[in-house]
């Protein structure tokens, strides 16, 4: 993995990221996660109806020999698996939550932004740890530019950190996330469901191995 070349590619792609809403209504909403399966990666996509969060569709894909993890380059490790799972969907969601950064990234193109650009799909990135930037009164700044939000979604629990990925405005990120939190879960319900199903599938596959 030539990180210098990947940085150049990220900087080039970051100029194509649009943070304008690409939808008028949101009727379906998805969650995309990757979990470890031995030395492989399992990607899971779940599509839910809104506001019921009833699962409409779920697809998975196991990627052999993924690239090793490097901070700031998660997309190159996980995106191939997520795209393969996404391409199996019969109904694409109006909006996709992705576990990882959106524009809250050193080069403003985390996995949610990179994936959204690749799929031409509206995305939002959700992180459970603040990797970069400073949180001030619920807003996250990097070099004096606001790139996301710190959001307390569960009492007595650490906040989550959200940033627009692609084709989503800051205002939509702020407004939609509270509508996707189902007590007692901390992260948006489509991501919670995707991660829960993925972990269950990993256990099943481990037993079969």
**CA angle, residues 205, 208, 209, in degrees to nearest 5:** 90
β pairing state of 123-127 and 95-99: parallel
Task: Report in angstroms the alpha-carbon separations of 188 from 5, 6, 106, 193.
Answer: 34, 30, 24, 9
Helix (H) or strand (E) holding 111: helix 111-119
Given pLDDT bands bounded at 50, 70 and 90, which one contains residue 161? very high
Q: Could you tell me the residue ranges of all domains in the chain?
A: 23-208
Instruction: State the pLDDT at residue 208.
Output: 80
120-157: pLDDT as tens digits: 999 999 999 999 999 999 999 999 999 999 999 999 89
23-208 homologous superfamily: archaeoglobus fulgidus dsm 4304 superfamily (3.30.2170.10)
């Amino acid at each position: 993995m030539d990180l210098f070349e990947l940085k150049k590619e990220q900087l080039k792609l970051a100029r194509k990221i649009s943070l304008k809403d690409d939808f008028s209504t949101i009727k379906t909403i998805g969650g995309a996660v990757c979990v470890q399966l031995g030395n492989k990666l399992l990607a899971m996509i779940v599509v839910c109806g809104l506001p019921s969060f009833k699962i409409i569709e779920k697809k998975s894909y196991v990627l052999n020999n993924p690239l090793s993890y490097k901070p700031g380059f998660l997309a190159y490790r996980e995106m191939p698996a997520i795209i393969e799972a996404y391409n199996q969907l019969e109904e694409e969601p109006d909006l996709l939550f992705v576990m990882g950064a959106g524009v809250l990234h050193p080069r403003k193109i985390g996995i949610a932004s990179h994936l959204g650009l690749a799929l031409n799909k509206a995305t939002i990135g959700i992180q459970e740890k603040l990797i970069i930037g400073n949180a001030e009164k619920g807003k996250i700044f990097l070099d004096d530019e606001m790139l996301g939000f710190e959001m307390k979604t569960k009492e007595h629990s650490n906040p989550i950190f959200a940033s627009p990925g692609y084709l989503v405005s800051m205002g939509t990120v702020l407004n939609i996330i509270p509508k996707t939190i189902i007590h007692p879960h901390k992260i948006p319900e489509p991501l919670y469901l995707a991660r829960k199903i993925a972990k269950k599938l990993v256990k099943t596959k481990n037993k079969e191995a």
